[in-house]
Amino acid sequence: MRAAYAIAADPDDPRSALRVGERPEPTPPDGWVTIEVRAASLNQHDLWSLRGVGLPADRLPMILGCDAAGVDPDGNEVVIYPVVADEADPRGLSLLSERHPGTLAERVAVPPESLVAKPAGLSFVDAACLPTAWLTAFHMLKTRGRVDEADAVLVQGAGGGVATAAVALALAMGKRVYATSRDPGKRERVAELGATAVEPGARLPERVDVVIESVGAPTFEHSMKCANPGARIVVCGATGGHLATVDLRRLFAMRLDVLGSTMGTRDDLEELLGLLVSTGVRPVVDSTYGFSAVGDAFARLESGDIFGKVVVDLLH
């Protein structure tokens, strides 16, 4: 079958470690199900894997990809929840493409509990955007950020998959949303979604109750300064650098919660699908590529010049 896979680790030029070509069919463990992939989306995680982060040499070659939507052997349309429990240690979790072959392939084997029904009104391309970036944003807002108690939300770095998801979801939940981007074009796009777009570091007209942080060092001080007393600053990534400076006086005086967040639960994914159906909100798709252009999709993601998700459509 056709697949996109890592053959090596290259910290400086991750795409040089990528190959697109034939791989053996999945050999599922007992009880697992093989899914015909219809669409898969890329994440920074795939580039980190090509750099060797979380993917040691003894697991290579490894099919990449955490996210997909497809069809199960009974013909049901499904979305794949990408977090897999470790058989040896049930507390140990991995994402598809870390220990088990990933979703950037014609077929992928997953445990049956990973399957979530895809609503008929959601396309395969839209559904493939949800399992990592959108799920992460949903969990950050709902569970870690307690967005129900919030009036205003700040999203830093409004181009990436997590950030565009957080903007769209917080708006759908009826919140006032501020979003930063260094790029005037992305600020225009985020304003079209309905958020107030500002330059990084700009003073906001009000303080916010939840901050969605995936940029890290370049924006963290601003995140702290924009927070209301008792606000939640929820961190899922550090694309711009992981060593941030924290003013501890502000942390305790404002009683701020700085919270780490990773992915979400399978129930969260089901709830997220329901929210999309009930609100009509759809993932922000930056670009869609056919399988023969997977290399271009990775180049697009690595460029950093994206607004939303980069998707591979296996039907084209």
Ligand X SMILES: NC(=O)c1ccc[n+]([C@@H]2O[C@H](COP(=O)([O-])OP(=O)(O)OC[C@H]3O[C@@H](n4cnc5c(N)ncnc54)[C@H](OP(=O)(O)O)[C@@H]3O)[C@@H](O)[C@H]2O)c1
Residues at the interface with ligand X (CB under 6 A): 43-44, 132-133, 136, 157-163, 181-183, 186, 214-215, 218, 236-240, 262-263, 304
**By the 8 A CB rule, do 205 and 195 touch?**
no
Shortest Cβ 74–ligand X spacing (Å): 30
Shortest Cβ 42–ligand X spacing (Å): 8
**By the 8 A CB rule, do 307 and 186 touch?**
yes
CA distances from 302 to 48, 50, 273, 296, 316 (A): 11, 11, 28, 10, 22
Shortest Cβ 252–ligand X spacing (Å): 26
Q: 3-state DSSP helix/strand/coil percent for the chain, to nearest 5?
A: 35, 25, 40
Shortest Cβ 213–ligand X spacing (Å): 9
Burial of 252 (0-12, 13-18, 19+ CB in 10 A): exposed
DSSP 142-156: IIIS-GGG-SEEEES
Measured from the CB atom, the residue of 46 and 209 that comes closer to ligand X is 46
Of all residues in this chain, which one has the CB nearest to ligand X in the complex?
160
Residues β-bridged to residue 260: 235
Measured from the CB atom, the residue of 181 and 223 that comes closer to ligand X is 181
Shortest Cβ 192–ligand X spacing (Å): 14
Shortest Cβ 186–ligand X spacing (Å): 5
Q: In what order do the strands lie in the sheet with 176-180?
A: 196-198, 176-180, 152-155, 208-213, 227-235, 257-260
Shortest Cβ 307–ligand X spacing (Å): 8
Buried b (16+ CB within 10 A) or exposed e, 187-223: bebbeebebebbebeeebeeebbbbbbbbbebbbebb
Residue with tokens 């056919």: 290
Measured from the CB atom, the residue of 45 and 107 that comes closer to ligand X is 45
CA distance 175 to 168: 10
Shortest Cβ 257–ligand X spacing (Å): 17
